[in-house]
Amino acid sequence: MKQTEGVVTIVQEGRFQLSDDAGVSHLFILSHAASGEPQQLETLQRRQSRVRVRYRPARNVIGLIAEAIDLLEPAKSEDARQ
């Protein structure tokens, strides 16, 4: 299963947009089989949480099906590394 990491930037019901580290935006639809609930997406977006999304292609819609979302540690800034 494919996966990507980034920040949840937009949420609407069970759909969300994730911006990856390269600045590319990905549109996801939360799978009915996913362990999370659509209401939890709003908290991830509000906190600008870094997540890893495991997904599969969607049929007949624009977007990807998010099968699992894992919360990650915040990315360290350049200032913190020096």
pLDDT at 82: 52
| pTM, two decimal places | 0.85
The vertex-64 CA angle with 12 and 1, nearest 5°, equals 135
Beta pairing class for 25-30 and 64-71? parallel
Task: List the domains of the chain with CATH numbers.
Answer: 2-76 (2.40.50.140)
Do residues 38 and 22 lie in contact, with contact meaning Cβ atoms separated by under 8 Å? no
DSSP one-letter code for 21: T
CA distance 45 to 78: 23
- Please write the tens of the pLDDT for every residue from 9-46: 999 999 999 999 999 999 999 999 998 888 999 999 99
Do residues 16 and 4 lie in contact, with contact meaning Cβ atoms separated by under 8 Å? no
